[in-house]
Amino acid sequence: MFKKVLIANRGEIALRVARACRELGIKVVAVHSTADRDSAVVSYADEAVQIGPGPAKRSYLHIPAIVEAALRTGAEAVHPGYGFLSEDPDFAEVCAANGLVFVGPPAEVIATLGDKTTARSLMDSADVPMLAGSMAALPTVAEAQAVADRIGYPVIIKAAAGGGGRGMRMVTDAGDFGRAYRETRASAQALFGDARVYVERYLAPARHIEIQVLADQLGNVIQLGARDCSVQRRHQKLIEETPAPHLPAEVLDEMGRAAVRGARAAGYVGAGTFEFLVDETHDFSFMEVNCRIQVEHPVTEMVTGVDLVQEQFRIAAGHPLSLKQADVLPRGVAVECRVNAEDPERGFVPTPGRLTEFVAPSGPFVRVDTHGFPGYRVPPDYDPLLAKVVVWAPTRHEALDRMDRALAEFRVSGDGVRTTTDFLRAVVRHPLFRSGQHSTSLVEQLTREHGNQFRRAA
Amino acid sequence: MSQGVVDMNGRRERPADADASVPEVLDQVRDSALRLIAELPRPPYALRVRAGDVSVEVEWNLGTSAPAVTDTLPAVPATVDPLTVPEDRHCVGAPTVGLFYRAPEPGAPPFVTVGDLVRPEQQVGIVEAMKLMIPVVAERGGRVLEIVKDDGAPVEYGEGLIVIAPDDDG
């Protein structure tokens, strides 16, 4: 096992990875920007190195600074967390070139799966079902429109170098296609430095279901069940749960097997997630592979008893997985709510600032992954995720009641600081969500029904 | 009588397969031993695994390998935080994490020494990160009072390198 690891991330995930290191007897090096010099992981770590100013481009995304810090402190491996450089094949390559173990898949695998067009054709060759659409990028509006006309509207135009809901446009009318195509190419160039786009059938309403996969360097690949991430706002997940409610076991098994096939076909190593869209008839289609630990990994941990981050370290160190497929026996229901420092009453505008009060929920079967603490200053430079509240219960109904109880206990205040706890409680209590019949259009629907008013319940 | 035993993880142990061949049992014992070693926090001095009547013994050698207790703390290197220097001083901070060099190349005279007068934007050092040589530039002009870090010292982003008595109005 590694003796020292550098965590190339920040916030709640850096602290969560640091805790796994502590349990494995691995020394922790935390890198941080000036904006994060008082952050929780900096006090928790064994060593800390300030690598740059607030803006991520010059700190958490600045490869030379991170690799320099790793070499200087004698770290053997680098854990990239999620976001930032976690799916950057160049970073994986630079680590390898400098004798550092990158905790994740090999650079070539990240590159192949990060390009959504090569990922699609790879998965297609592994017999993973997918939506009608192009397998390759479409360089001219004429070719792109021909594909759209063939598969039928509505379609969605997506950036090949994109992902995570960014850089996509939906087109319902053939007449709008040309403009949408040009706009998507332009924003893809601006966002990802790569203007290539492809076209897919647009599916709505749909459920976003993802399969957690673990693959070691000895050829063992297992799947740890499905997460339903359908509660989203502008393609950003808000609530995730496992198991996926009301999906028949055969469909889940099929999806699990497809994910394992896809992982093998890709030569995947590490913890990964295969995302699918599931329609009303329970047909599922491949969306993308996420080559990193995900924000919502705790719900899988709660029902399986597996520490996914520890497994990542075991895999990276060349050990076999600590369990076989037959040992994966999920039990009960786990739900996670992402609490952001945002104001739902003002269009979810981020609200950075100093926290004067921060009391996280606790009690039976409640887990809170957070970097927050009283006196912590939420910086404006990064995404507004402040805490993940995760609960477990034997049934979904009990889990949602428990989540409501936990969110009600969560006390956060600060000058100008707001959080989304009341909004999340409104979703957790919503009859459509409670019935498990919701789709990705739930939040939009809720916002329409209630306007932007989410008052604290009496 | 129950067929099996429930272990401390709540799992029911299956009775040993009486028909397993010796090589198969050896394989199982070997695999268990390897898994166990991988999971231990430190490599053991000795490991004994027995299959019949089940037994696992692990030993660590604590005696001669215990680290000596030192009664002096390692010297704490000088650190100047540019945020806390008094107003009549200006501290030039490191532009990146890496190694601080006082001269343009090994053997050459340093960019500045104590007592030198520097102009604003004058280069006063280099920080190397991953073979990139990033210039250290004095944002304000004045007289060099102190070189805080030694040549070749590892520095963090923003760490104080050179203290100047500024001759501008701030």
Contact criterion met (CB < 8 Å) for A49 and B97: yes
**pLDDT value at B69 more than 60:** no
pLDDT of residue A440: 85
pLDDT in tens, A142-190: 999 999 999 999 999 999 998 777 889 999 999 999 999 999 999 999 9
Shortest Cα distance, chain A CAs vs residue B148, angstroms: 18
Query: What part of B 46-85 touches A (C-beta under 8 Å)?
Result: none
- Answer whether A260's CB lies under 8 Å from A222's CB: yes
Shortest Cα distance, chain B CAs vs residue A19, angstroms: 15
Closest partner residue to A64 among B41, B129, B158, by Cβ?
B129
pLDDT of residue B67: 45
Between CA A304 and CA B10 the distance in angstroms is 14
**pLDDT value at A453 more than 60:** no
**pLDDT value at B17 more than 70:** no
Chain A residues closer than 8 Å to B129 by CB: 64-65, 68
Cis preceding linkage at A243, omega within 30: yes
pLDDT of residue A48: 98
Read off the pLDDT of each residue in A350-378 and give the average, rounded to a whole number: 97
Please indicate if any CB of chain A lies within 8 Å of the CB of B28.
Answer: no
* Of the candidate ranges A276-285, A340-349, B38-47, the one whose mean pLDDT is the lowest: B38-47
Which residue in chain B is spatially nearest to A98 when comparing CA positions? B130
pLDDT of residue A329: 96
Q: If pLDDT is split at 50, 70 and 90, which confidence band does B19 have?
A: low
Which residues have CB under 8 Å from A26's CB, separation 6+? A1, A2, A3, A4, A5, A313
Which residue in chain A is spatially nearest to B34 when comparing CA positions? A319
- Per the residue annotation, which of A185, A292, A367, A402 is the catalytic one? A292
Please indicate if any CB of chain A lies within 8 Å of the CB of B14.
Answer: no
Chain B residues closer than 8 Å to A1 by CB: 38
pLDDT of residue B3: 56
Q: If pLDDT is split at 50, 70 and 90, which confidence band does B15 have?
A: low
Known catalytic residue: A257?
Answer: no
Buried b (16+ CB within 10 A) or exposed e, B119-134: eeebebbbbbbbeeee
Please indicate if any CB of chain A lies within 8 Å of the CB of B98.
Answer: yes
**pLDDT value at B71 more than 60:** no
Give the rounded percent of residues in chain A with a pLDDT score beyond 90. 88
Chain B residues closer than 8 Å to A64 by CB: 96, 129-130, 132
Read off the pLDDT of each residue in A236-262 and give the average, rounded to a whole number: 96
**pLDDT value at B26 more than 80:** no
Residue whose pair of structure tokens reads 């209590």 in the numeric block: A429
Q: If pLDDT is split at 50, 70 and 90, which confidence band does B70 have?
A: very low
A·B CB contacts under 8 A = 49
Chain B residues closer than 8 Å to A53 by CB: 157-158
Buried b (16+ CB within 10 A) or exposed e, A199-219: bbbbbeebbbbbbbbbbbeee
Between CA A337 and CA A408 the distance in angstroms is 12
Token pair, residue A381, equals 């430079």
Read off the pLDDT of each residue in A114-140 and give the average, rounded to a whole number: 92
Contact criterion met (CB < 8 Å) for A50 and B129: no
Mean pLDDT score of chain B: 81
Read off the pLDDT of each residue in B22-37 and give the average, rounded to a whole number: 77
Burial class (CB in 10 A: 0-12, 13-18, 19+), A116: buried
Between CA A6 and CA A26 the distance in angstroms is 10
Q: If pLDDT is split at 50, 70 and 90, which confidence band does A454 have?
A: very low
Ramachandran quadrant class, A106 (left: phi over 0; alpha: psi -120 to 50; beta: rest): beta
Mean pLDDT score of chain A: 94
Read off the pLDDT of each residue in A198-210 and give the average, rounded to a whole number: 89
Please indicate if any CB of chain A lies within 8 Å of the CB of B27.
Answer: no
Give the rounded percent of residues in chain B with a pLDDT score beyond 90. 46
Closest partner residue to B158 among A1, A50, A320, by Cβ?
A50
**pTM, full prediction:** 0.85
Contact criterion met (CB < 8 Å) for A59 and B97: no
Chain A residues closer than 8 Å to B96 by CB: 51-52, 62, 64-65, 68
**pLDDT value at A425 more than 80:** yes
Single out the residue of B142, B38, B68 nearest to residue A316, CA to CA.
Answer: B38
Which residue in chain A is spatially nearest to B11 when comparing CA positions? A327
Closest partner residue to B156 among A1, A50, A62, by Cβ?
A50
DSSP string, chain B: --SSEE-TTSPEEPPP-TT--HHHHHHHHHHHHHHHHHHSSS--SEEEEETTTTEEEEE---TTTSPPPPSSPPPPPP---GGGS-TT-EEEEPSSSEEEESSSSTTSPPS--TT-EE-TT-EEEEEEETTEEEEEE-SS-EEEEEE-S-TT-EE-TT-EEEEEEE-S--
- Specify the DSSP class assigned to residue A18: H
**pLDDT value at B73 more than 80:** no
Sheet holding B90-93, edge to edge: B90-93, B160-166, B142-147, B117-118
Residue whose pair of structure tokens reads 């319902």 in the numeric block: A172
Contact criterion met (CB < 8 Å) for B157 and A51: yes
Q: If pLDDT is split at 50, 70 and 90, which confidence band does A447 have?
A: confident
Say whether the ipTM exceeds 0.90.
no
Contact criterion met (CB < 8 Å) for B158 and A53: yes
CA dist A354 to A12, A39, A162, B118, B169, Å?
17, 12, 33, 39, 33
- Answer whether A198's CB lies under 8 Å from A271's CB: no
**pLDDT value at B96 more than 70:** yes
- Answer whether A422's CB lies under 8 Å from A413's CB: no
Contact criterion met (CB < 8 Å) for A53 and B129: no
Read off the pLDDT of each residue in A46-57 and give the average, rounded to a whole number: 97
Single out the residue of A236, A231, A223, A191 nearest to residue A207, CA to CA.
Answer: A231
* Of the candidate ranges A401-410, B22-31, B68-77, the one whose mean pLDDT is the lowest: B68-77
pLDDT in tens, B147-165: 999 999 999 999 999 999 9
Shortest Cα distance, chain B CAs vs residue A163, angstroms: 30
Mutate to test the interface with A, among B9, B156, B159 (most CBs of A within 10 A): B156
